[in-house]
Chains A and B, each alone.
Chain A
Amino acid sequence: MISVMQTIPATLASHAPAAAGAAHAPTAPGDSSAIWLILIPLLPLVSSILCGIYRAWGVTSKLPGYTTVLALAVSFIVTLTGYLSFGGAGVQIVHGFQWLNISWGEAHGQSLTANFSLYIDSLTWLWMLFVTGLATLIALYSTEYMSEDQKNGGYARYFSFFSLFVFAMSCLVMGDNLLLLYLGWEGVGLCSYLLIGYYYTKPAAVAAAKKAFIVNRIGDLGLALGMMLAFVEFGSLEFSEIFARVAEIQATVAAGGHVSWQIEAIPLLLMVGAFGKSAQLPLYVWLPDAMEGPTPVSALIHAATMVTAGVYLIARFLPLFALNPTSLAIVAWVGGLTALLAATIGMSQFDIKRVMAYSTVSQLGYMFLGLGVLTATGAAYHVFTHAFFKATLFLSCGAVMHGFAGQLDLRKLSGLRKLKGWGIVTLAMLVGCLCLAGFPFTSGFFSKDMILAEAFVTQGPGYQALGILALITAGMTAYYSFRVFFRVFCGPVEFHPSDDHHGDSEEEHEAHEDAEGHHGFHPHAPGWAINLVLMVLIVGSLAAAIPYFVDKENHGWVGGLVHDSTAGHLVLPTVAHGAEDAAHGAEAVAHGEGFWSDPHKWMYYVSGTIGFIGIGLAWLIHMTRRTEAATAPIADGLKNAMRPVSTWCERKWYVDEFYDIIFRYPLKILSHLFYLLDQLLVDGLVNFAGAVPRMLGRSLRPSQNGLLQSYAVGMGGGVAVILFIVWILL
């Protein structure tokens, strides 16, 4: 019973009855009259505009924050109401308004329709529920976190971008055509850029924003090309039409037909876009740097929501990916390798926010691995649980940063749990780390296992090896997450505020330096908004495990949602695969008979054990014999013993340097060459092209001499010439 997807009968027609739930054939979506669903994207947009107006008016109160929270909360409530009313009702198309409708002929493919309409199926609901829900919480958190910027107008700007992001994200997830998806895709990219560069006076933030934007551009090019190719091939950008065509192709494939290379190229191109947005190899380099933005932004955009857009894209178009097994194998391998690479880097970072950033990259890798091994359920469930626990982790880091004047170095913070007022933060961090580490019976445990187990049973190039790599990565994850927890929250109490983040004057700062111990620095414990949000998120992270036990036959609530969506309609191509499928089907049926034959069962134990080992190692290395914050004798000893390896990891595998050497320098040299060429040849041509209209203009200018008589002569002459031509023609 391992997901219906792999054992599915060959055609959609015979598949449809097999799936649980209402009729959901993607070919026949119902037009919905529930126009109020349009409020979900609209309210954040309104809030964004309002915050922009507040900025122009110079509002310095918390009004922008509360406006945003209100708009997002209502948006969430609308989403929830919508889900409860239509959750099981198959595909809904809510027609917002006609946006683009261009045609240059009557035939199919000679018109371009892209309306502002929403394509809502269960996958959309899943995404929108956590996007709007988490956005509301994080906006509430930000009302307190960003309060220092109220005076200089940054507060309103922040919330304006924040709301705009939610608008763009909902366009991305809810759009009923590729163009609206692309609009949302670029929109979230823009908001990400604006928010990473929020502290635009800080060079590092500006550089990070630029890097994110440029690296994403490479991915977006892929998406744009994929979209264009899809239009050429399918004659439409609307999902309902595309999926209808995909179903046709699936039928021909099932009948032994071929998939044209153009169709096969579409998933490859879309994949590039997904790699960029979701920070996968080789385009992951922007995400760690994106931590220069305010922490709530890192939590929402760069951990919970935006970076899962790539997972959404692939899940949405999984039937298309299934037509090209190569693309799935690439997705799986890229995901697995990214997970491993990022985990090794995460093990050696000292900045706790960066550790979290690399862990995000690593977890996203798991999700891609899940998609590659065709468990959209596992991937979507991991997206769901990850959204909660990673938001928890980031917001805890944010609370630390907020309270300790920007200090994020785990060597300079220690024993926070013993400080007054930090209990909830400690608890949040603990719960987040447990989930991330895949501690048994936490939400992260179940979602990760689903992916790991699937890697062992799915047929594909080297998937077993990939499964083992993923298991090793799971151990590393447990290690680095608890490394942070033990270093920062346990052990002797000690803290140093960050150097660059003193509100006081320089002399005062010097004076503090001389003072013993904590330099007279008093950390301020988080206030109600931060604590409230953290508590909700703790509950959310833990409760995210519950859906696993709901609707067991579909592998949990999320599994049910995925089955009812477009990701549930897969057919693998080529006749050769048919045989494999049959074999695999037999294997899948065999699941659940013996203990060792069902990977889902033994994976609980294997990955649980590996998680324990990781946590134990972290405790051994970072807790025992530690007397002060900066030094953990075993850790330092180990580090010295394996210096080359640890330096290699600490310097992030020299990937940035590597990219410098293989891309930036050659590009620079090339650009100088092109510049020369440009100067000599192209500019000449361009100047020539520019000169032609000017010359034409100069020669015509005398006709405009301002004299009535000559104008009249010109007009009369013109009439005569035209009449003469017509006379000749007749």
Chain B
Amino acid sequence: MIEKLAQLHPEIALFAATCIVMVLGLAKSSFWRGMSVWVTGLGLVAALVLSFFSPQTDGMLPNSLPYLKAMIAAIGLMILPLMGGTVDRWYERTVGRGASFDPLRVTRGEFYAFYLLSLMGVMLCVTADDLIWLFLALELTSLPTYIMVAMSTPRLRSQEAGVKYFFLGALSAATFLYGFAMLYGATGTTQLQDIAIHFRTEGMGLIGTLGLVMALIGVSFKIAAAPMHFYTPDVYQGAASPVSAFLAFAPKAAGFVVMIQLLSTVGWGWGEHGIALPEALRITLWVIAAITMTFGNVLALLQSNAKRMLAYSSIAHSGYMLVGLLVGPGQGPIAGNGLGAAMFYLLCYGVMNLGAFAVLACLEKRDEHGELVEIETVEDLRGLHAARPGLAWAMTLCALSLLGMPPLLGFWGKLGLFTSGISAGEIGLVVIMGLNSAVAAFYYLRLVRAVMLDTRDEDMDRPALTDMFGRRVAAGLSAVGVLVVVIWAGQLQAASDHATEVNPRIRQFNERVVEAEETPVIESIARND
């Protein structure tokens, strides 16, 4: 129990910060209310530092804690300045003008607390070694985000998005919970390692396979992959841009981590060279990946609303990362570690996607009721270069990076996915990925053209710069990150590869079983047919 606790230090730090923030948000003095965001940051910094000291575990991915948790905390820190001022902005102004403070009307404390709780959920997914834990951690990630979407703007559309997100999320939770139940039914245990051993010795069986596939499909809601992707554009559009940026990272990170955990129960010990997934799972993932990336890209192509476009692009990027999951940890320490590539890509995506949303969040215009709202459409971005060169460059860099233009960060991320796909022999999928990247160029370049090349018509009113400085900081951080993190791309990739090495004990166990019993698993699949 004690050694388990040692793995949870970052989560504990986040939880402590959550409690403080929740109380601080209700403080009578506006100074202390304002402190809530700083305490959130402090908690994240503490979690980031503690992450580096995370011990090795005995789980499926024994080295994964430091890298993954540090990545989650670091990206969380980068998104935080964007979050500042999302809620309570108008109410604080009213209070500032002398109105009396009513604790029932502020939501700031809850907002940051939910933010921290959600990130904590992602970290718990990393630490989890049990199906129940996995389920709880996943729900801890998602539940706060449902509320964050609804409360992010005072408009009806946000509430609609929140409700939609919640209902569909519940549907997906039901799906993967059903899958978990079937896994328990097939193996009689909820421990991931025991499940793995059971699968190895007794075979997966129909129930086991179906359970795993259902769990995977259910989790694909979190990463916005087909067939659970439908909610994405509506929710991203409905939420405030900072929350959309958060949605594009935190639940996605949790989803991918859970998927890796689930896939590790079968081990990547199948196929011709003993490095692939079982055929049924491979085909499932293959189809999901191909449909997801194609769907995301072709629909983004038609969008004139930048936020929806980014939502579709988020779907497409999940498709790319699924290729890495399909490949698995690969043969050797470095060559073609698809999990490492996917986790590195997640980091790259977190950095570059933030910038695109941040630029949208930085600009405001008056809607038909005369209220200041964040801009949404590509049209609003036109001619940004003349008015706000810094923001225009941030958008350009991030869009080019999302597109995978060398030498920006996105290129290095995608490179790993491509090479791992090739090394695993998934040429077909890699070709689809390449074609999709080409299609994606169209709409990312449209963003670039709008901000850099187009000029604004005289009669259009200019979007105003938001007075929230943090948002500009976030945009700058992301743009600089896209350029600068490239320098350490090699090290980060290596760290990511190291983090996703499968427990050698489990590998050896797999090999022993395969050698000793002449692959009973395959026979059992044959029996079931």
Contacts and interface: CB of A to CB of B under 8 A. Distances in A.
Interface of A: 97-106, 110-111, 115, 690, 693-694, 696-698, 700-701, 703-704, 706, 708, 710-712, 714-719, 721-723, 725-727, 729-730
Interface stretch (B209-217, B353-361, B366-374): B209-217
Nearest to B291: A718
B283 A716 contact: no
Contacts of B334: 101, 103, 111
A694 B230 contact: no
Contact of B298 (A103, A694, A715, A726): A694
Given A693-B298, A694-B298, A729-B279, 13 more contacts: A97-B487, A99-B490, A101-B490, A106-B331, A115-B490, A696-B298, A698-B302, A712-B171, A715-B227, A722-B227, A726-B213, A726-B280, A730-B206
Contacts of B528: 730
A115 B488 CA distance: 11
Majority secondary structure, A binding face:
helix
Given A708-B167, A718-B217, A106 B490 contact: no
B419 interface: yes
B228 A715 contact: yes
Contacts, number: 127
A715 B332 CA distance: 37
Contacts of B213: 722-723, 726
A719 B331 contact: no
B335 interface: yes
A513 B28 CA distance: 81
A296 B55 CA distance: 58
A704 B335 contact: no
A708 B336 CA distance: 40
B284 A104 contact: no
Nearest to A708: B164
B345 to A, nearest CB: 14
Given A101-B494, A103-B336, A708-B167, A726 B210 contact: yes
B492 to A, nearest CB: 10
A382 B295 CA distance: 63
Given A98-B490, A700-B298, A711 B164 contact: yes
Interface string B162-204: 0110011001100100000000000000000000000000000
Contact of A730 (B228, B336, B422, B525): B525
Contacts of B439: 693
B294 A723 contact: no
Contacts of A726: 209-210, 213, 280, 283-284
Contacts of A694: 298, 301-302
Interface string B333-364: 01110000000000000000000000000000
B234 interface: yes
Interface in B473-529: 487-488, 490-491, 493-494, 525, 528-529
B429 to A, nearest CB: 15
A540 to B, nearest CB: 36
A105 B298 CA distance: 33
A718 B494 contact: no
A168 to B, nearest CB: 15
A723 B210 contact: yes
A708 B169 CA distance: 11
26 contacts: A99-B487, A101-B490, A101-B493, A104-B336, A106-B332, A693-B301, A693-B439, A694-B298, A696-B298, A697-B301, A698-B302, A700-B299, A701-B302, A708-B168, A710-B230, A711-B164, A711-B231, A712-B167, A715-B171, A718-B228, A722-B217, A722-B284, A723-B217, A726-B213, A730-B525, A730-B529
A727 to B, nearest CB: 7
A100 B407 CA distance: 11
B332 A97 contact: no
User: Chain B CB within 10 Å — which of A98, A115, A722 has the most?
Assistant: A722
A163 to B, nearest CB: 18
Nearest to A112: B419
Contacts of B168: 708, 711-712, 715
Given A700-B295, A718-B226, A726-B213, A102 B415 contact: yes
Nearest to B488: A97
Contacts of B297: 693
A717 B227 contact: yes
B386 interface: no
Contacts of A104: 335-336, 419, 422-423
Given A98-B491, A103-B336, A694-B302, A715 B214 contact: no
Contacts of B53: none
A712 B228 CA distance: 9
A703 B230 contact: yes
A429 B25 CA distance: 77
Contacts of A719: 175, 214, 217, 227
A265 B297 CA distance: 43
B431 interface: no
Instruction: List 10 A-B pairs, minimum CB-CB distance, nearest first.
Output: A718-B227, A697-B298, A98-B490, A711-B230, A104-B423, A696-B298, A693-B298, A697-B302, A103-B335, A104-B419
B23 interface: no
B287 interface: yes
Contact of B210 (A98, A103, A703, A727): A727
Nearest to B294: A696
A708 B487 CA distance: 44
B52 interface: no
A9 to B, nearest CB: 41
A706 B234 contact: yes
B233 interface: yes
Given A694-B298, A694-B301, A725 B335 contact: no
A690 B442 contact: yes
Contact of A722 (B167, B172, B234, B287): B287
Contacts of B280: 726, 729-730
A117 to B, nearest CB: 12
Nearest to A717: B227
A629 to B, nearest CB: 50
B9 to A, nearest CB: 29
A3 B335 CA distance: 46
B466 to A, nearest CB: 22
Contacts of A115: 490
Contacts of B302: 694, 697-698, 701
B235 to A, nearest CB: 10
A711 B171 CA distance: 10
Contacts of B525: 730
A716 B174 CA distance: 11
A706 B157 CA distance: 12
Nearest to B227: A718
B94 to A, nearest CB: 33
Contacts of B487: 97, 99
Interface string B428-460: 000000000001001000000000000000000
Contacts of B231: 711
User: Chain B CB within 10 Å — which of A101, A103, A690 has the most?
Assistant: A103
Contacts of B298: 693-694, 696-697, 700
B230 A715 contact: yes
Interface string B277-312: 001100110011000001101110110000000000
Interface string B6-27: 0000000000000000000000
Contact of B233 (A111, A704, A710, A729): A704
Contacts of B491: 97-98
A111 B334 CA distance: 10
A101 B217 CA distance: 34
Contacts of A101: 334, 490, 493-494
A98 B529 CA distance: 50
B299 A704 contact: yes
B301 A716 contact: no
User: Chain B CB within 10 Å — which of A97, A701, A704 has the most?
Assistant: A704
Contacts of B164: 708, 711
A100 B214 contact: no
A706 B235 CA distance: 10
